[in-house]
Amino acid sequence: MSRRYTVLGKAVQGALLCILAGICLAQGAAGQSAWRPAGNGLQLLGLPSPAGGRVDRVWFSADGSGVRVQLGQGEVWGTDNLETWSRRVEAVPQIEAAQAASLPESAARTRARSAGSAVVYAAGRDVWRSVNEGANWENLTGFRGKSILGGRVRDLAVHPSDDERIAVATDTGIWISLDGGFTWAGLNEGLPGFRIRRITGAAEGATGIRVQAESAGEWIEMEWMPGQRAGWIPVSGGRLDQEAGLRRALADLGVEATAVAASGETRFGATANGRLLTSVDGGESWREFRPSAGEIAQIWADPVDGRVALAVADGQAGLGPRVLRTVNGGIYWDDLTANLPPGPVTGVAVDRRTGAVYVALPRGVFWTFTDLRAPAPASAWRPVAGELPAGEVTSVALDRSGTLLLAAIDGYGVFSRLSPHTLERPRVLHSADFSDGEAAPGSLLTLSGSSADRVTANTAEAPVLSSSIEESQFQLPYDLSGDSVRLAVAREGGALAFPLRLKAASPAILADREGTPFVLDAGSGVAIDAMNPLRGGMTIQILATGLGRVTPEWPAGLPAPASNPPRVAAEVKVLIDGVPLEDVEARLAPGYVGFYLIEARLPAMLDSGPAELRVEVGASASGPVRVYVER
């Protein structure tokens, strides 16, 4: 097997710098307090191009140079180059139907370039074309009983001077044809039509961010899959499917639930008229509470303690109780609304470790600390700073560490930033995958939410590699021993202390906040993703942390040498869907501090499709990351 540890190729170094910048770990870290997009606003539905959200109307500008649309929310947007969209202040024109001898569908709407044109188009379930004023029709979008554009066709426009150029508005966005409807291209990139009702999960392991989104006229669960950058993909078996069983159980009792949640044997449900229902015996019996809070939008149940839950509501015109808490299994719910501004609360996220609570209101995201163990007075809410797009906030979520805050903006998609409570309650995480598991000698760790002037591990120095107000990175010494380590952080504003368990190895594969791992084709230095999948016999490189001691010994805080970097002392295994790879070798990554570069060869034959990749060192295994195998 070819060995590439003597020096990282330029392509590998470039890819590493890009992913480090994207993750903001740096070995030169950037700030996390600004909101930034997490995924885009496109959907991959097997259509001619990536789809968008619902568009109600479409028309060409008077001179034919641009396209205008009216979105489902009523906003008018336009493009003059078929690439860049912007909001417009324009009236929606009334377009008269074209004369036609017949209709291809009973309710079809007809359009033509001019009253004297023999070419007529019609929009119904499908798009139709006639070259003889409607005497005969050709179906342009129907295929095996379905539309190749997906969903309902809502409007159609014909270019004022070109019979061959048409645009249609559908449940899946805006589509244009330059050849009379024989080929189609979507114009959905940059058009704010991606409607999200709820974030159902942050990225974790091999699973990406998941949302409940409107797609082709239906509300379904979709995922921004790690390593796949083109758009959101429909998924099954997620949280919505898991909740469906609880909704059915309540329906059997005559209850139509607006929100449900479960923790152990405890079940929670809510109705449109504001009733909160709780069962502590797996749904055998239920108790009811009426908080006069209006329609309940979402319930969060503590995954560890089934007695604890929070519910958010519209508050009856946005003024009554809108954030409710129970700490006794639903016997009583107390009001935490306090100083929240008027408006319905549509989403809630909780960090149970600190008691930080985040809620979504149309005008922004607000947060506070609350007691999750006993009734306590409501505390004041604070707005989350930072500029978001102009749409309404519909949902919030936190990642598993509680340090990344996600918000869904109606039409614009998902955005993320450092959770503000982390600045008041900093955490130590693995720099590679943002987990909070055990540490290992040589581990690269991130202090999220604080600067660090100096860090000691027991009595040894842990070199600080970067430090900012929001995040610091440091490395544990390679010669640490024992089963625990106490980190002492010296900083402006007061010292911090963190006890951690210590193991010989605690492997983690480097991945960004959306779950995309750092895995390369060793031959080309190109990143492995959905567009460049794994192939049988390929040699891959993986960037990881936490693999433990190296030989010969190496000082912490010093970049690994470009030539013959130290080798990992323990045996390292790489597995894809549980199958161990061959010719595995692991060394420190040349030129970098605290990172290990693992090289392994794939078997000649692999099952195609998405797969899970892990790294094992002794009895310790990394979390899974998603990779793609060539079909």
pLDDT for 23 equals 43
Distances (CA, A) of 507 to 8, 61, 437: 21, 58, 10
CATH topology of domain 196-421: Neuraminidase (2.120.10)
Contact 544, 509 (CB under 8 A): yes
Q: Distance (Å, rounded) from C-alpha 208 to C-alpha 220?
A: 16
Which whole number is the average pLDDT over 531-553? 95
Q: Distance (Å, rounded) from C-alpha 204 to C-alpha 463?
A: 29
Q: Per-residue pLDDT for 28 more than 60?
A: no
Please give the CATH number for the structural domain made up of 427-500: 2.60.40
Task: Give the pLDDT band (50/70/90) at residue 11.
Answer: very low
pLDDT for 16 equals 52
Helix or strand run (H / E) with residue 234 = strand 233-234
- Domain definitions of the chain by residue range: 10-24+508-629, 55-186, 196-421, 427-500
Mean pLDDT of the chain: 92
323 φ/ψ angles, rounded to the nearest 5 degrees: -130, 120
Structure tokens at 502: 């210590």
Q: Per-residue pLDDT for 582 more than 60?
A: yes
CATH architecture of the region 10-24+508-629: Sandwich (2.60)
Task: Give the pLDDT band (50/70/90) at residue 607.
Answer: confident
Percent of the chain with pLDDT over 90: 84
pLDDT for 229 equals 87
The pTM is what? 0.92
Q: Tens digits of per-residue pLDDT, 231-279?
A: 999 999 999 999 999 999 999 989 999 999 999 999 999 988 889 999 9
Ramachandran region of residue 503, left (φ > 0), alpha (ψ -120 to 50) or beta? Answer: beta
Intrachain domains 10-24+508-629 and 196-421 with the same fold: no
pLDDT for 187 equals 97
Which whole number is the average pLDDT over 329-333? 95
**DSSP letters for 59-122:** EE-TTSS-EEEEETTS-EEEESSSS--EE---PPPP-PPPP-S--SSTTPEEEESSTT-S-EEE
Question: Coil, helix or strand for 197?
Answer: strand
DSSP 623: P
Task: Give the pLDDT band (50/70/90) at residue 493.
Answer: confident
Which whole number is the average pLDDT over 413-436? 95
